[in-house]
Every structure is written in structure tokens, then in C-alpha cells.
Amino acid sequence: MPRHDENGRRIAGWLADRLGAERVIYPGLPSHPQHALAKKQMSGFGGMISIELGTRERAATLLSRVKVFSLAESLGGVESLISNPAMMTHASVPVERRAQLGITEGLVRLSCGVEDVNDLLADLEQALEGL
């Protein structure tokens, strides 16, 4: 769990710098609306991160380009996983209901595993290039 948390923190910070903090959903970031509560309740923030890429096409492009992160519907293994809920786990949910839940077409979820964080960052860098 410590490596999962360390990788999540590093990657969330990097994504916030690259994409803008408003597009990264991670309780370990000071920009998260419940960051203070998370700090009180948690000893770490974990490796689960969501990012908003704006469109289904951009999300699909990212998912198709990653090489270290594996595409998966279920997140939370020791390996790094990635998904787009609108196309995967929540595809059968009506669009209006997904909108109420905050599940947009451009939402991508990352589960940062225990691999070398520099490999994960390099994978995301090459996958996000030009998006």
C-alpha cells in the first residue's frame, strides 16, 4: 500500500501540472474540495485518480496509447490499470443518469500500481502527447 500511495501522489501531482488541477480528481491534491477532510480521515491518499479529458475521443485515444497501464473494467490490483467508465462499467447507464453521477464521456480512471513511478509517468506522457 505505501508504494500504491506514493505512486498515486506523484502521478496526481504530475497530472495536475500537465492538465490543470481542475481536471484531476484526487483527494491528495489541495485543490480537491474534500482535501482537508481526507487529510483528517486518511493516513494516505492511495493510487486511485480520475481525470477529465473532455471528450470520448480523447479518452479513447489515451486508453489506446498506454503501454504500461492495462485497460481493465475493475480497478485496484497491484498492476496499474486504466478505464473509461462511460464506455465500460457504466455504458448501460442512461446518459442523463451518468451526468448526474459525474460520469462524463471524457472521464478516465487510473489505478496506479506498484511499478516504477518513472515508467508510469513516461507511459502517461507519451499517451497524452498531442491530446
What CATH number is given for 2-128 in this structure?
3.90.1150.10
CA angle (75 as vertex; 64, 86 as ends), nearest 5: 55
In angstroms, the Cα distances linking 36 to 23, 55, 108, 114 are 19, 30, 24, 26
Over its length of 131 residues, how does the chain's per-residue pLDDT go in tens digits?
Answer: 899 999 999 999 999 999 999 999 999 999 999 999 999 999 999 999 999 999 999 999 999 999 999 999 887 789 999 999 999 989 999 999 999 999 999 999 999 999 999 999 999 999 999 98
Q: How far apart are CA 22 and CA 39, in angstroms?
A: 19
Q: pTM of the predicted model, to two decimals? A: 0.92
Looking at residue 73, its pLDDT comes to 84
